[in-house]
A and B are shown apart, each in its own frame.
Chain A
Amino acid sequence: MRPRTIQGNLEGLEATFPIFAVTSDVPDVDRTYHLALKATREALVEARLEQMPMGFRLGVCVGTTVACQLNDIPFYRSYRETGQPPLEPVYRFIAGSLAERLAEATHAEGPVLTVVNACSSGTDAAGVACSWLRANLCDAVIVGGADELSKIPSSGFYSLSVKSPALCKPFDRDRQGLNLGEGAGIAIFERQDSAERRGIASTLEVVGFGASADGHHLTAPHPDGLGIEQAIRLALGDAGIVPEEIDFINAHGTATRENDRIEGNALARVFGPQLRVVSTKGYTGHTLGAAGGIELVFTALALREGWIPANIGFENQDPEIPFSPLQQITPVKKNFALSTSLAFGGNNAAVVLCRREEKV
């Protein structure tokens, strides 16, 4: 982690709050798109889809929060001051949404959708992809989420008093809030019959998805966590498994007081006190619309590689949360894992991944 050069939409970003910035060579202009494109290209290579077969139906479903808004601060300042701002940011915006631009860049001609469900966008995109594939609307889907650091959500979270002045400590007793981050997490979901036709085998499978709405509050989860519990139970039901079959949970775990207490208790109700939980926000910060995509990829890699990363930042158990997250790298024992997301608007989403012993 290191502070980025502050310009454009990052102008004036408070120096007192840590941020997790991508330090590789990614342009500042259209940054979310470039982050997403970088991850998409890597995912397509791994899926051996750099060259698509003739007639291949590739869909794109990605989540974002920053890239779906015409939110260019210098543009708006110029509008306020001169009434004649340069229109370049508007032209860029109307050229296409994040998913549309990725579809154009990858020559995808299947369905295209940008999910804007705030912080659960990436996980909800996974749910859309599952629906498309089940409906046979396409053969494969570029799925995940991407977001760049921006002054606007940064100020918004500041106004909500949920930003931590120190590095975030998910599920810790003394957690003070979230750190913002940026990035992209992209996976390729493909129908089994399509993969077989292409001669592709994988040990990973998406087996369940669930989503729910709290219908309670715009910015706070339901105090009893009923919505996230419902989403988890729906995902398990969709996968046709019982909670005991889940090896570990990659939790939303933003390190805010409310999220971790409410999500933690919901997880404990579903999985019992022996559950194994990690929040990977300690590595990335809260990447908003990208979070579900990045955490989907973390979960898939943990299953594939056979080890779960440690919940960094955690030191002391919170008496209001009935478990401690994993504090060191831990071997995977079972074949199923769950990734959860909670969002503004009371949206909750959960996805179940499976590791097959043999490639299918």
Chain B
Amino acid sequence: MNPLNRAADLDFARKLIEHCCWEDERVWRLAIAPLTDEQFARAVQFGLGTIQRECAHIMETEWTNLRRLRGETSAIWELPLERTVMQAGWRAIHADWAAYMGELDADRFFADCAFTDGGRAVKLKAWQLIFDVIYQGTTHRSGIMRIAAEVHEAPQFDLSLMQFLSGVFRQ
């Protein structure tokens, strides 16, 4: 058994994934929900081009990496385009992540995950896939905020890990 195999050792990783899911939900509620369908899909000249695509990209990374962490075989990601379907799908992904992180121990955190990427067999550590989700989400939520300012108005809140962790400044 890994000497670090105590639940408390991985509290930081659990908190970071919890923040990621919380921030996804908050961005949806405060920045995306006020948009019209046209604004949601309107093309701009930076980032991934639309809020719809930024959301889909975050969702796809969260979904794909979780499948890899669970050792599930590849499946084709089907992009939900309609907003209510997308929101429901995203919440389901968040629930799956919460379940996975609740059972995570140090042995699994440091274990290898083998999978295929673009037809190539590759291997990453579980913690590398977890951090990948955390940083992809941070990057693309920033993209959503910027596009929302372009197609509608600047959202009136900051993205901040410390706000979440402190609990004092949560919206």
Question: Are A and B subunits of one complex?
Answer: no
